[in-house]
Amino acid sequence: MTRNNFLKTALFLVLGAVAGCGTPTPSDVVQVTFDVSVPANTPVTAGVNIIGNHANLGNDSNDAGLKLRRDSATKFKGTAFLPKGSTILYRVRQKTPDAAELNAAGSAMAPRTLTVGDQDATESITVAQWDQSSETVHPKVNFVVNVPSNTPAGDTVYIAGNQPEIGSWNDHQVALTKGGDGKYRISLTFAEDPGTGIEFKFVRGDFSKNVEKAADGSELSNRTLTLPAGEQTVELTVARWADLGAP
């Protein structure tokens, strides 16, 4: 017996006993994989559930349902065993924070319909938007910066760039904090929308003297980063400083 058939047998022995309607066999059910694409502004802390009119989908309870796993920033997946030939009505719901699915016009989605076939299958779904305020999501970037070994221990490392949060390339620079591991860190939340491209560099104060350079001492192009949908940690390395030799 394969692992899937074993799981199907075990699951439906339990469901059959609870329902008091006999014992279905593995041939009575199929494995349905829900493959859900969500909007880019879905919070990184959020979960996504499939809630439907079957016990394995929570019997339409918003407090139950099939909890999906997060595969990427915009992709959730999960699997349920469902009876062959059944018609399932279900909804996609965001959890923590709780939000219903809306269609592209911003109206509430009617329950989706799934007709279960006689073979394992994948149900692909795209959520147009959630019934939530767009202001709940702001791009956040955690910068972790490795510096050359000859960086003076007492020096402060700054980030500067083309967004207000990092000084808009003017005299305002934002200091990073040095950790016990020698790395410098800062967490910044940006007002710009996810997908906005930013430019920046690291410097020890004076751009004309102490800006970062390429490993061979040549000019380094501005660093670039696309702001994430939610939170992202990026670890970067300064190869060399303008006023210091190779480490």
The domain that contains 171 carries what CATH number? Answer: 2.60.40.10
CA neighbor of 108 nearest in space, from 93, 96, 123: 93
Residue 215 forms part of a structural domain: yes
> What pLDDT is attached to residue 224?
97
The last residue of one of the domains, among 98, 116, 131, is 131
> What pLDDT is attached to residue 25?
52
> What pLDDT is attached to residue 230?
83
In 85-211, alpha helices (H): 207-210
> What pLDDT is attached to residue 156?
94
Alpha-carbon distance 125 to 107, whole Å? 17
Judgement on whether residues 178 and 224 belong to the same structural domain of the protein: yes
Judgement on whether residues 87 and 163 belong to the same structural domain of the protein: no
> What pLDDT is attached to residue 170?
78
The last residue of one of the domains, among 84, 99, 131, is 131
Residue stretches of the chain with pLDDT short of 50: 6-9, 11-24
Instruction: Domain count for the chain, please give it.
Output: 2
Show the domain range for 101.
Answer: 3-131
Cα three-residue angle 70-73-79, rounded to 5 degrees = 25
Residue 176 forms part of a structural domain: yes
The last residue of one of the domains, among 131, 149, 179, is 131
User: Taking the model in full, what pTM does it have?
Assistant: 0.49
CB count in 10 Å sphere of residue 40: 13
Residue 17 forms part of a structural domain: yes
